[in-house]
């Protein structure tokens, strides 16, 4: 479709394969499947869910939220349900919110989902972006814990001055769907890759350092660093910046590409299933995305 090569994509991004939804399949469908798997894994019934938080930039429709469709699909009718939008950092924003709701006693069981169908907002004639993004979803169930496991600390931050570097101008009320929107390709992701790259490394590195301080941990206490999976070179540069050994860094960008808000929960799920994350292990989660937004969390699993 564009002037690129498999070699360029592999060496410049680390991406080898990606998953793309089928026609008729939507973000809520991916989120529903992830949610049902997470509930089963946690042995929690949908009727016991108090809050459903769906982190996404590719909701099914303008409104209602994508969380509403998941609620309907899984029949979690005792819950409130809403979306949050913090691009690739969405899952960590959701985790901070879920942690606060639980710690203040406002909720006991929270279903947190990160899901995207980025293929629907990707311009497959733009080689700067079309080789990067994939579709997917992941989910987690958060509950109060009576031992020292759980969310140890969270951190989130944004800088709205830099929004032009990674954005989608259309599909909102500012630029309603007119022929101009389509001619100017406003329905697609636009990114200044090189600038985003630099900010991602600095912000994720700083966020990882900060969360260790907040949680009173050192890198020796950390079993796994899970960064947002956007580019292998960003992951490597972040790990190098904070001097964490490569064997403590989780990588699956080669399999899924950049799945935005889904990237962290997919990685957590895979790390648990493959034994990279065991019970009592401490993971540092860190992400960066459009906005800019960034954040981190320290979690004892
Ligand atoms: O998820 C949230 C955040 N997103 C990210 O973190 C993504 C951050 N950015 C990146 O991952 C990288 O910047 C990219 C993968 C997007 C681009 O890699 P890069 O090494 O920064 O490349 P570049 O933009 O500096 O471009 C280098 C060259 C350019 O050609 P010239 O001007 O040197 O002749 C591009 O036109 O590579 C060219 N190029 C490509 N060539 C073949 C850009 N995309 C492609 C492509 N195939 N797909």
Tens of pLDDT along 16-38?
Answer: 999 999 999 999 999 999 999 99
Domain span at residue 65 reads: 6-147
209 in Cβ contact with 242 (< 8 Å)? yes
pLDDT in tens, 63-76: 999 999 999 999 99
| pTM higher than the cut 0.85 | yes
Same domain membership, residue 112 and residue 57? yes
DSSP state of 258: B
Same domain membership, residue 170 and residue 116? no
Please choose, from the candidates 80, 68, 69, 78, the residue with its C-alpha nearest in 3D space to the C-alpha of residue 46: 78
- Residue with the nearest Cα to atom 28 of ligand 1? 128
Inform me whether the pLDDT recorded for 177 exceeds 90.
Answer: no
> Final residue of a domain: which of 147, 169, 184?
147
> Final residue of a domain: which of 147, 175, 200?
147
Q: How many domains does the chain have?
A: 2
Give, in degrees to the nearest 5, the angle at Cα 209 between 208 and 215.
85
Determine which one of 26, 203, 228, 231 is catalytic.
Answer: 228
Q: Residue 196 Cα, ligand 1 centroid: separation in angstroms?
A: 10
CATH at 207:
3.40.47.10
Is residue 221 situated within a structural domain?
Answer: yes
Q: How far apart are CA 4 and CA 119, in angstroms?
A: 18
Same domain membership, residue 167 and residue 99? no
Please name the residue ranges forming H helices in the chain.
Answer: 6-13, 27-42, 66-74, 90-103, 179-183, 193-214, 232-241, 253-256, 263-273
Is residue 1 situated within a structural domain?
Answer: no
231 is a catalytic site residue: no
In sign, the C-alpha dihedral spanning 214, 93, 251, 143 is positive
**Residues with Cβ < 8 Å from 145, sequence gap 6 or more?**
none
Q: What ligand 1 atom has the least distance to the C-alpha of 290?
A: 2
Same domain membership, residue 100 and residue 45? yes
26 is a catalytic site residue: no
Look at strands 110-117 and 249-250 and give their pairing. unpaired
Determine which one of 26, 88, 203, 231 is catalytic.
Answer: 88
Predicted pLDDT at 180? 87
254 is a catalytic site residue: no
Is residue 37 situated within a structural domain?
Answer: yes
Question: DSSP 3-state assignment of 290?
Answer: coil
Predicted pLDDT at 176? 87
């Amino acid at each position: 479709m564009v002037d690129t090569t498999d070699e360029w994509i592999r060496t410049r991004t680390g991406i080898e394969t990606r998953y793309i939804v089928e026609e008729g399949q939507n973000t809520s469908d991916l989120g529903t499947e992830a949610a049902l798997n997470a509930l089963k894994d946690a042995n929690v019934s949908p009727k016991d869910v108090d809050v459903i938080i769906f982190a996404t930039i590719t909701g099914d429709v303008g409104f209602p939220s994508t969380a509403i469709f998941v609620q309907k699909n899984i029949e979690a009718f005792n819950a409130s349900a809403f979306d949050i939008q913090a691009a690739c950092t969405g899952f960590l924003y959701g985790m901070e919110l879920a942690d606060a709701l639980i710690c203040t006693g406002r909720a006991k069981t929270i279903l947190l989902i990160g899901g995207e169908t980025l293929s629907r907002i990707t311009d497959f004639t733009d080689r700067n972006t079309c080789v990067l993004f994939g579709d997917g979803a992941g989910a987690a169930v958060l509950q109060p814990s009576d031992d020292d496991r759980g969310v140890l600390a969270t951190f989130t931050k944004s800088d709205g001055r830099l929004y032009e570097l990674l954005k989608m101008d259309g599909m909102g009320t500012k630029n309603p769907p007119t022929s101009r929107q389509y001619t100017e390709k406003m329905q697609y992701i636009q990114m200044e890759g090189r600038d985003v790259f630099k900010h991602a490394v600095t912000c994720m590195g700083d966020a990882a350092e900060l969360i260790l301080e907040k949680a009173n941990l050192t890198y020796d206490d950390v079993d796994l660093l899970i960064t947002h999976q956007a580019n292998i070179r960003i992951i490597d540069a972040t790990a190098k910046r904070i001097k964490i050994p490569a064997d403590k860094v989780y990588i699956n960008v080669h399999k899924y590409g950049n799945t935005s808000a889904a990237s962290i929960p997919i990685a957590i799920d895979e790390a648990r299933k493959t034994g990279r994350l065991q019970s009592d292990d401490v993971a540092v989660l860190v992400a960066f995305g459009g906005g800019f937004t960034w954040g981190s969390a320290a979690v004892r699993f």
